[in-house]
Amino acid sequence: MFFSLKKFTIPILLLLLILTNLFFSILKPNPNFYLYLDTLSLSKGRSYFATLSLFSSLLQSADYEKADKLLPILDPADTQIYLDLYYPDAISRKLDTLLAIETKSADDYLAISQLYLRLGDSASSLNYLKAAHETDPIRDDISSLYFKALRK
């Protein structure tokens, strides 16, 4: 009896290993799956960093409801940069500030273009990228961005 149990143990373990591999390769779990796992780490530092990374990832994917639930457990000094970069309200405030400037430089137009792109308004983004190119046509970085955007 002991011999027959041992005989089936290895095939069962191999089958479990294959099924686990299929789950992670074919079914593709949530892209933040490993970050969720790291938040459960016994190391407080690793757990905190994973939570902060998860917060950033959720903001970038516009999942604000889940990101808001993480705010109470994170230090506001750590989250502020991500809120400024990806939260629509903060982006709109920055955009209003830049749009209020009377004489805009190429950098101002470029920043406005990037903010519109973050808000998902690609038409306005292209218009301000064009204005940046017209303001300073010599700058290679702006010309490169402008002509790449026109090709898309």
Does residue 119 fall inside a structural domain?
Answer: yes
Does residue 12 fall inside a structural domain?
Answer: no
Does residue 140 fall inside a structural domain?
Answer: yes
Q: Given a cut of 60, is residue 124 above it in pLDDT?
A: yes
My answer on whether 72 and 97 are in the same domain is: no
| Close Cβ partners of 43 (under 8 Å, ≥ 6 residues apart) | none
Q: Given a cut of 90, is residue 73 above it in pLDDT?
A: yes
My answer on whether 80 and 126 are in the same domain is: no
User: Under the phi-then-psi rule, with left for phi > 0, alpha for psi from -120 to 50, and beta for the rest, what region is 105?
Assistant: beta
As for how many domains the chain has, the answer is 2
Among all chains, which residue has been given the structure tokens 């690793």?
Answer: 46
Among residues 41, 66, 85, the one where a domain terminates is 85
Which domain does 40 fall in, by range? 27-85
My answer on whether 97 and 141 are in the same domain is: yes
Question: In this structure, what are the phi and psi dihedrals at residue 140, rounded to the nearest 5 degrees?
Answer: -65, -35
Q: Which of 85, 94, 149, 93 is nearest to 131 (CA)?
A: 149
Does residue 4 fall inside a structural domain?
Answer: no
Question: In this structure, what are the phi and psi dihedrals at residue 138, rounded to the nearest 5 degrees?
Answer: -80, -25
Does residue 74 fall inside a structural domain?
Answer: yes
My answer on whether 129 and 106 are in the same domain is: yes
- The rounded distance, in Å, linking the Cα atoms of 35 and 55 is 10
Q: How sure is the predictor about 28, in pLDDT bands with cuts at 50, 70 and 90?
A: low
Kindly report the pTM of this predicted structure.
Answer: 0.63
